[in-house]
Amino acid sequence: MHNYVELIARTLYHERMLTATAKPCFNILSYNAGLFLSALGVIPISKKEAYVEKAQAKIDEQAAKLDEFKAKVKGEVADQKIDAHEQIEKMESKLEAAKSRLSEITESAEDAWEDLTDRFEDLSEELGSTFRKFFGKRD
């Protein structure tokens, strides 16, 4: 932690001028600059300090990757919610149409009700198919 690059990177980070994504790059740069300056004898750095800096750079890099993964998953979940709402609207529409057709069958004359059953059966099958497709995707 005795090198100048690390000091600059930390200052920029604390000043919010350095994003979390760029921080791992600065940590790696800091580690390499520290080794270089130490090798020149400009800045003394112990083997332990070098290891700690390198390990911290790896942790920061993995944290950035995890944040990126979280954002990706969040976007995918949002897409799934949109798809689910669209499917629910379709199912509700088909269900209302089936209810309406059943009401027509119920109110029809005794000799005419069988003529109305074909459309009801079609609607019922469409609704069942939509349910199977929607819930089949989720398994």
Distances (CA, A) of 2 to 5, 42, 54, 59: 9, 10, 14, 20
Q: Determine the pLDDT at residue 73.
A: 92
pLDDT in tens, 30-84: 666 666 666 665 566 688 888 898 999 999 999 999 999 999 999 999 998 998 8
pLDDT beyond 90 at 26: no
The CA distance from 120 to 104, in Å, is: 10
Residue 21 has pLDDT above 80, yes or no: no
Task: Give me 134's structure tokens.
Answer: 């929607």
Q: How far apart are CA 43 and CA 4, in angstroms?
A: 9
Q: What is the pLDDT of residues 76-110, one digit of tens each?
A: 999 989 988 998 998 899 899 989 989 989 898 88
Q: What is the pLDDT of residue 18?
A: 46
The answer to whether 45 and 2 have CB atoms below 8 angstroms apart is yes
pLDDT of 17 higher than 70: no
Say yes or no to pLDDT of 119 above 60.
Answer: yes
> Residue 109: which region, alpha, beta or left (left: phi > 0; alpha: psi -120 to 50)?
beta
Which of 41-45, 111-115, 130-134 shows the lowest per-residue confidence on average (mean pLDDT)?
41-45
Region of poorest pLDDT, from 6-10, 97-101, 133-137: 6-10
24, pLDDT greater than 60: no
Dist CA 18 CA 6 (whole Å): 12
- Do 27 and 56 contact (CB within 8 A), yes or no? yes
Residue 1's pLDDT is 43
Whether 9 and 27 have beta carbons less than 8 Å apart is answered as: yes
Half-sphere exposure of 83 (CA within 13 A, CB side): 12
Domain containing 127 equals: 4-138
How many structural domains does the chain have? Answer: 1
The whole-model pTM stands at 0.47
